[in-house]
Structure 1
C-alpha cells in the first residue's frame, strides 16, 4: 500500500530516508499501514554507539567501574552524550528512530509521548525482560520479576510490591528502619571525624551495614561476605552475554539469602518475604534489593555533596532537619533532584512482544526500545537543566514529571520508589543533624557553574565539623 506524503515524514541533517526495514509481514504479525520508524544514517548510528552507548556501558550498568566514572567526569562524557542526543533529536524532528544494529531492531526514543506509551505499555506489549537485561541480571537472580515473562511475572512482581509496599508513601516498618539508619549514619560520622573527612569508602561501609540490617535482619549487619559475593556477581553481570555465569557463586548467594528468609528476623524485609507464597521466588527478588540499594547509596552521597555547597538548599534542609516534620519533603525532593541530574539507571530498556504502533511510527515484534534518561532529564529545553533545584519536586511524585524517569514508571516502576527516598532522606537527616559539611573534592562543585553530567561518587570527599562544638571542660 502506498504511503501518503505525511506518512513518509522524511528527516533532515544528513539522515538517510530509508524507513525501518522491509514491509510489515502479513498475518498475525501484521499492523495497520503506517510508516515504520525512520532509521538513523550510518554516521548518526556510529555517533550514537560511540558517544552515548559506549560511555554508558563502560561505566557499568550493573555495578560502577571507578576508573570509568573518573574518566566520564574528567571529560564530561555524559554532557557530551546529551548534546549529541539533542543533535539527533533535531535531525529526526523529535521522532523516535531505529539505530543501526546488526543484532536486532533497536529503537532509540526521542519523543516524550513515545516514552509515556512504552512505560505505560509494560509488560505488554513492552516487556521489561529485554534480552540484554535477562542476560545481565540472570547472573545473580534468574527468577527476578524484572526479567520474568508470562505467568511467572505476576507472583514475583506481587512479592516485590507487597514487601517493599510500593503504593505506601511511608513503609509500615519505617520506625524500625529510621532507628537502623540513625545508628549506622552516626557510626559513619564517628569514623569520618576520626579520619578528618567523609569519603565514599566510609559512607559505603555504613550504608551497606544499614542495607543488610534492613533487608536481611540485624544478624546480617556484619555479613560483608554477602555483599562481596553480590558485588562479584554484579561485576560479571556488567558483561551480560559476554561472560559465562558463575553458577557456584550464584547458588552460594541464594543459599545464604535463604538462611535469612528462614530466620525471618522481625522488622526485616526478609521476614515479610518469608510470609509470601514460594512462587514469588523470594531469594531471587532479594538479590535485586541488595543490588538496587547500591545506586540508592550513590544517590544519597551525591545528594549530600550537592546540598552542602548550595546555600539555599542547605538552609531548607537544615530547617527541615531541625524541625518537627516527619515527611522530610525537601530532603526527599533533594534525592529525586539528584536522580534527575545523575540517573542511576541511564538506559531504560524494553522489548516489544508484538508489533506496536507509536506516535513516531511502527515497531516490529522483538524490537528493543531504549530510553536514555539523561537526555530527557538534562536537555536544554528543561528549565535549569544543569542546576540543583529540588523545589521542582515539592508536592510531586516522580511519575508526575514524565518523561523524567528516576524510578521508571508504569507497571514496571521501581517497587521501592517510596522506600528508597524515605531511607535516603533519613540518612541525610542523620548526617546533617549535628554536622556541617563542605566540599574538599571535586573542586568544581564549589563553583556556581552549571553542573557536569557526571559526578563521580568514588572521588567525593567532604570535610565536616560539628554544629555544636563541645564546650571547655
Structure 2
C-alpha cells in the first residue's frame, strides 16, 4: 500500500489534528485498507470522528465508503455519501443487523431482556408489541391526557429556582417518566430512582442484585398500574408466548427517558439564544396546542436533535458478504453511519450549523435521509413521537410562566453553532413573565 507522506500528510494532520492514514487498495478489503488515528475514541472502540476529520477524509478520497480502524483494532466501514445512507436504512436486518449495545454482550441473566438485545423473529415480535404500546408513528399518544398531566405535575421542579440546570431537569423528567411508565405511585420512589441511576452509570452491569431489586419494585407497581400507563398498555398486549415481558421492558422505557433532560435543556438553550423563536414558541405554549401536538415546539425539539443528536453514530453489522461501490466486504463487517456529521454537513444540508426550526414545516422533512434524529426504516426509534410529545410539553410548561433571559454557554444566534454541547454545563436563567 502507498503511504501518504510529506507536506500532504502534514496538511491533513493540521486539519484534523490526528489523522494519519494509508491509501486504500480498492481491489480487495482482505486487510484493513485505511488505518487511522482519530481523536475521541471511546473505550469500546467506536470512532467519534470529528466533522473536520470526516470532511478531510471525503475531500481526500471522495464519497466512497472508507475503512477505518480504531485503536482497539476494530474496523468500521464509514459511509460518507448520502446515496449510501438510503441503502443503510433500507437493508433488512437479515443482511444488515443492528450492532448490539455493549450491555448485551455480557451475561444475559444480568440484563433485562429488552428488544435491543434480541434477534430474529423474537425481535420482530417484541418490536411489534413495543410499537403498539408506544403508539409508534402517532403524533399524540392515546394516553396523552394522562402523560401530559404527569408532565404538568412535575414541571414545577424545573422552575422552582431561578436557574435551570441538568440536575433539576433530570429530577423532573425522571419523576414524570416513572408516572408515565408505572403510574403515579412510582413518582416519588427515590429508592427505585437510585437503582436506575446505578444501571445508567454502568456501575451495576455485573450486579444481578440491582436488577433483581429494581425488577421486584417494578413488578409491585405494575400490579396496580392503570391502562393509561405504558406497563399497563403493554400487559394488555403481551402475547401468551411471552415475546415481550412488559416488566423487563419497563426497565428500558425508564432508561430511554435519559435522552429527554439533555434534549430539553438544549432546546431551551437554543430558544434563549433566538428571541423571535422563543416568543413564537411561548405564544403556542400559551394557547395550549391541540391535545399536546404543539407543532412549533416539536419542530424546535427536532432541530435541537438535528444539531445535537442523542446518538451521533449508527452502527450495523453485515450478516452476509456485501458490496459497496464495487468493493466486496465479508460477513461481520461493521458499517458506521456518522449521523451527526451528515445532519450538519454544509455541503448537503442548507444552514447546517444554524438553528432553523422552520425546516421541519416541510412535510417531507421527516423523510429526509440526510437528517435522522430518530433514524429511518426498520431501525427507527418506536418511541420518537412519544419522546417529542413529552419534551415539547416540558418546554411549554417552562415557557408559559417564564422567559429565558440568559444562558451559559452563550450561543451566537447568527454564527455557526458549536459542534457539541455538554448538557451538564448548561445554565438557563428564568424570569417570570
TM-score (norm 2): 0.86
For residue 271 of structure 2, the aligned residue among 307, 311, 325 is 307
Count residues with an aligned counterpart. 407
Q: Which residue of 1 aligns with 2:218?
A: 257
Residues 197/294 of structure 1: CA separation in 2 closer, same or farther (3 Å cut): same
Residues 361/166 of structure 1: CA separation in 2 closer, same or farther (3 Å cut): farther
Q: Supply the distance in 1 between the matched residues of 2:175 and 2:24 (Cα, whole angstroms).
A: 55
Residues 415/136 of structure 1: CA separation in 2 closer, same or farther (3 Å cut): farther
Partner SS for 1:350: strand
Q: CA deviation at 1:423?
A: 0.9
Match status 1:402 vs 2:369: yes
More deviation, 353-362/363-372: 353-362
Residues 100/177 of structure 1: CA separation in 2 closer, same or farther (3 Å cut): same
Conservation of the 8 A alpha-carbon contact between 1:304 and 1:428:
yes
Partner SS for 1:46: coil
For residue 41 of structure 1, the aligned residue among 24, 28, 34 is 34
Q: Which residue of 2 aligns with 1:393?
A: 360
Q: Structure 1 stretches of 5 or more lacking a match?
A: 1-12, 24-37, 62-77, 238-242, 468-473
Q: Which residue of 2 aligns with 1:81?
A: 50
Q: Which residue of 1 aligns with 2:93?
A: 123
Partner SS for 1:285: helix
Partner SS for 2:37: helix
Q: Supply the distance in 2 between the matched residues of 1:100 and 1:20 (Cα, whole angstroms).
A: 18
Q: Structure 2 stretches of 5 or more lacking a match?
A: 1-11, 13-20
For residue 91 of structure 1, the aligned residue among 60, 75, 81 is 60
Q: Supply the distance in 1 between the matched residues of 2:188 and 2:271 (Cα, whole angstroms).
A: 30
Conservation of the 8 A alpha-carbon contact between 2:29 and 2:329:
no
Conservation of the 8 A alpha-carbon contact between 1:20 and 1:39:
no
Match status 1:325 vs 2:289: yes
For residue 366 of structure 1, the aligned residue among 321, 332, 335 is 332
Conservation of the 8 A alpha-carbon contact between 2:263 and 2:304:
yes
Q: CA deviation at 1:105?
A: 4.3
Deviations 1:232-279 (A, max 9, x none): 123228xxxxx9622222222223222233322342111011112232
Conservation of the 8 A alpha-carbon contact between 1:128 and 1:351:
yes
Q: CA deviation at 1:136?
A: 7.3
Residues 395/383 of structure 1: CA separation in 2 closer, same or farther (3 Å cut): closer
Match status 1:209 vs 2:175: yes
Match status 1:148 vs 2:139: no
Q: Which residue of 2 aligns with 1:274?
A: 235
Q: Supply the distance in 1 between the matched residues of 2:285 and 2:101 (Cα, whole angstroms).
A: 44
Bigger share in helix: 1
The structure, 1 or 2, with the larger RCO (C-alpha pairs under 8 Å, 6+ apart) is: 1
CA RMSD of aligned residues (A): 2.8
Q: Which residue of 2 aligns with 1:169?
A: 139
